Structure 1
């Protein structure tokens, strides 16, 4: 056998992944720097990568805005007034990812002839950032384990798709790919905030 025949018979064969059919920059965006290329649970890997990246983002926001990146809104719970935080930094990040990703997701699906393939995980990134839009940056920096809670809550909503999330998938094309995770992020963020309030209340009870 010559070298080519040996390579064909014993060489490591390249798996013909669908994402190879689109350009490298689109692949980089929709797989979130390759995290979606994981052979197992790409959505989980994309969400985990986004949660990890969120920590240095929170640290950066804390230094740049000096704790002023959140807007607190009054909220009445059981006849008592509390503060509901809107983290403007992560809200803007989530919305930026949402709208910026639409043309890339659309192109990736068109080039590969797929509909919402698992390796497209930029929607999970949008969802994680949206979940953190309901949580103060200073708490994320001081207690990064809340990122694990955000990750777990988001994966719950992303997998089961309750409360109208599944309906968002039916939006046309890339909009449906992105919108269901954005809504999942909203639900996750609300539960994340309620979890923090509960933990805080128990610690001082």
Structure 2
């Protein structure tokens, strides 16, 4: 005779994930990059850099200065949906395999930082933004640690969006100061 927990596991294992569940899992894990054995959050943040650089070049080529901000909104909406749906399959509040939050947070940090420069991506600003984002994401100053406790995809996404905002503002201020002093 099975225990109740064993019965639930068998039942859950026999349910085939829907196409929507698989798509959410793929997006939430950054195409599987969140399964990296070491530093999946850093891998996700790197994907945010790649996505930003690509969209910045496309936006500049098309004469769309606001493409980065449109992308922030799209990524945030998709990230909320995907992380909410995928965290159920991992059965944890904020599993490290979900990296869409790092992708969006890093993307936001770069979008804010490049508002100061007004030009296309430069490697120095990208590097500073990347380091600052990872610092704020790991350190979690107020209120980042508090919002991390929020339920479902909102909590998963909110702490990294705030970390991205902090990092972007810090990089923005540093860039403005560097331009005035140098």
TM over 0.5, shorter chain:
yes
Q: CA deviation at 1:108?
A: 1.1
1:28 aligns with 2:7: no
1:116 aligns with 2:94: yes
Aligned partner of residue 62 in structure 2, secondary structure: helix
For the aligned residue pairs, the C-alpha RMSD in angstroms reads 1.9
Please say if residues 91 and 129 of structure 1, whose CA atoms lie closer than 8 Å, have aligned partners that are also in contact: no
Residue of structure 2 aligned with 1:63, choices 61, 72, 75: 61
TM-score normalised by L of structure 2: 0.81
Residue of structure 2 aligned with 1:181, choices 157, 160, 182: 160
Residue of structure 1 aligned with 2:104, choices 95, 118, 126: 126
Q: CA deviation at 1:160?
A: 0.7
Please say if residues 29 and 122 of structure 1, whose CA atoms lie closer than 8 Å, have aligned partners that are also in contact: yes
TM-score normalised by L of structure 1: 0.72
1:158 aligns with 2:137: yes
Higher Rg: 1
Greater share of residues in helix: 2
Q: Distance in 1 between matches of 2:147 and 2:73?
A: 16
Aligned to 1:94: 72
Q: Distance in 1 between matches of 2:50 and 2:124?
A: 11
**Gaps in structure 2 of 5+ consecutive residues:** 1-15
Greater share of residues in strand: 1
Q: Distance in 2 between matches of 1:175 and 1:33?
A: 20
Please say if residues 90 and 133 of structure 1, whose CA atoms lie closer than 8 Å, have aligned partners that are also in contact: yes
Q: CA deviation at 1:132?
A: 2.2
Aligned partner of residue 139 in structure 1, secondary structure: coil
Q: CA deviation at 1:99?
A: 1.7
Aligned to 1:39: 37
